């Protein structure tokens, strides 16, 4: 009877590795499968899984071998990988160490992904014009993801740290499996119906194309497109792309990055507030100092230091103005008086009284009408005769028509016309 062996884990892994290495078929083998969980390490090594309908095989391709590839590996791609099978001692996991690899067409899931992507693109589901801007200062952040796991913890921690003023509303939903797409769509519709959030984060942690397939569902894409609330898609890792990423208003490479995009940084806001506060203080001091200088300037002006001097000066100005106005008025009065005298002289020269003073007389009827013709009176009528030094009342004895005058004398008509003009002016 064999004695039972007692081995350490490392010893067992090394033993199994030796067994694998002794099997010739494992030393040089071709494996056909579909790439999944593809990752390109910063070192240049490629990590992936090869899968078919029922099985999964872990694989690694070191940088030296990857440098010879003539294509860019990606999830969903069907390949034929050549290499050897061995055991990774640390994990006790057997895997394929790939020496070379060639394409064998794209996987079925990837093909379905491309077909749906093209269909929705043609419908305008991904149009940039439909994208909604994210709110700068959201009060409520809705999160649609699994209630457990690293993704939700990262989102909550970052939201709480960056912007604790915002409420976090978690809608737990399946993110993988048959009913995941329906629950994700229902969560988005719920937030829109209740107006329960200002911005939504929809996503999960990384995984294979199968794990992320719920976010490639057409129903999810249309729910995101119909949402009135801006949505940040946060599915998988930076290299993972889903239909939800294209339909969302903004894509975040990771759930943590989505939380940073959803809310502002409290520290950054406090820094901005401090800068604004300092600028206000500087401007306030400048305004106060300028006011103080203006006040000092005003206080030092003569009007403030010796106000009576200004009053006296204005008094002198007023006296000067008064004297100037007085002189102007007197000058104007003298000019008007002179003009009036000249006018009076002209009127006096034209007055019938002036004619009377030269030896002529004016006769008027009893009613005051100027007597121009013998036809205006008859014998017995009373008349008044104006001479240079008074007025004479007389009675008409008789009337006789004038038979004429010498040829060199003034005609009665012209003399009568001139005297009548003077009489009219007097009346």
Q: What is the pLDDT of residues 111-128, one digit of tens each?
A: 788 899 999 999 999 999
User: Cα–Cα distances in Å, from 286 out to 39, 290, 297?
Assistant: 59, 6, 16
Q: How confident is the model at residue 266 (pLDDT cuts 50, 70, 90)?
A: confident
Which pLDDT score is estimated for 356? Answer: 66
d(CA 170, CA 163): 16
Residue 409 scores a pLDDT above 50: no
Q: Which of 186-190, 233-237, 358-362 has the lowest mean pLDDT?
A: 358-362
Which pLDDT score is estimated for 154? Answer: 93
The residues facing 100 across adjacent strands are: 82
Whole-prediction pTM value? 0.50
The answer to whether the beta carbons of residues 171 and 229 sit under 8 Å apart is no
The answer to whether the beta carbons of residues 215 and 204 sit under 8 Å apart is yes
Residue 348 scores a pLDDT above 90: no
d(CA 254, CA 249): 15
More confident residue, 427 or 304: 304
Percent of the chain with pLDDT over 70: 90
User: Mean pLDDT, to the nearest integer, of 247-276?
Assistant: 90
Whole-number average pLDDT of the chain: 85
Q: How confident is the model at residue 183 (pLDDT cuts 50, 70, 90)?
A: very high
Residue 263, Cβ density class (10 Å: 0-12 exposed, 13-18 middle, ≥19 buried): buried
Kindly give, in sequence order, each residue whose CB lies less than 8 Å from that of residue 78, ignoring residues fewer than 6 positions away: 32, 33, 34, 35, 103, 104, 105, 106, 107
Give pLDDT tens digits for 303-322. 777 778 778 888 889 989 99
Residue 108 scores a pLDDT above 80: no
Of 394, 400, 391, 374, give the one whose Cα is nearest residue 382: 394
What domains can be seen in the chain, in order of their start residue? Answer: 9-106 (2.40.50.140), 134-264 (3.40.50.2300), 353-399+410-426 (no CATH)
User: Mean pLDDT, to the nearest integer, of 185-210?
Assistant: 91
Which pLDDT score is estimated for 72? Answer: 87
d(CA 222, CA 228): 12
More confident residue, 327 or 353: 327
Give pLDDT tens digits for 205-214. 887 777 889 9
């Amino acid at each position: 009877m064999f004695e039972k062996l007692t081995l350490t884990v490392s010893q067992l892994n090394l033993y199994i590795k030796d067994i694998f290495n002794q099997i010739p078929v494992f030393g040089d083998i071709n494996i056909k499968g579909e790439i999944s969980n593809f990752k390109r390490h910063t070192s240049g090594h490629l990590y992936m899984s090869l899968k078919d309908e029922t099985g999964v095989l872990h694989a690694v391709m070191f940088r030296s071998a990857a440098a010879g590839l003539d294509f860019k590996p990606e999830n969903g791609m069907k390949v034929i990988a050549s290499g050897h099978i061995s055991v990774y001692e640390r994990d006790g996991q057997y895997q394929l160490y790939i020496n070379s690899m060639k394409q064998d067409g794209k996987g079925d899931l990837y093909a379905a992904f491309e077909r749906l992507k093209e269909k929705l693109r043609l419908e305008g589901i991904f149009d940039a014009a439909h994208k909604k801007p994210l709110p700068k200062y959201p009060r409520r952040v809705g999160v649609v993801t699994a209630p457990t796991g690293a993704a939700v913890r990262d989102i909550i921690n970052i939201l709480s740290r960056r912007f604790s003023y915002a409420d976090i509303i978690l809608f737990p939903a399946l993110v993988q499996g048959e009913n995941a797409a329906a629950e994700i769509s229902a969560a988005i519709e719920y937030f829109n119906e209740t107006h329960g959030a200002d911005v939504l984060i929809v996503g999960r942690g990384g995984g294979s194309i199968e794990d992320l397939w719920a976010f490639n569902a057409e129903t999810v894409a249309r729910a995101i497109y119909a949402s009135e609330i801006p949505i940040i898609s946060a599915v998988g890792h930076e290299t993972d792309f889903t239909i939800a990423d294209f339909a969302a208003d903004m894509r975040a490479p990771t759930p943590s990055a989505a939380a940073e995009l959803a809310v502002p940084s409290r520290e950054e806001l406090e820094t901005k507030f401090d800068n604004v506060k300092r600028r206000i203080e500087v401007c306030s001091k400048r305004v106060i100092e300028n006011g103080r200088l203006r006040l000092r300037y005003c206080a030092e002006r003569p009007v403030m230091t010796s106000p009576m001097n200004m009053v006296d000066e204005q008094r002198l100005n007023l006296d000067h103005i008064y004297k100037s106005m007085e002189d102007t008025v007197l000058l104007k009065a003298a000019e008007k008086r002179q003009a009036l005298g000249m006018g009076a002289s002209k009127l006096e020269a034209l007055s019938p009284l002036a004619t009377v003073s030269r030896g002529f007389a004016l006769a008027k009827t009893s009613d005051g009408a100027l007597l121009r013709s013998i036809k205006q009176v008859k014998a017995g009528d009373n008349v008044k005769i104006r001479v240079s030094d008074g007025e004479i009342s007389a009675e008409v004895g008789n009337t006789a028509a004038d038979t004429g005058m010498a040829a060199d004398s003034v005609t009665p008509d012209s003399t009568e016309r001139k005297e009548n003009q003077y009489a009219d002016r007097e009346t």
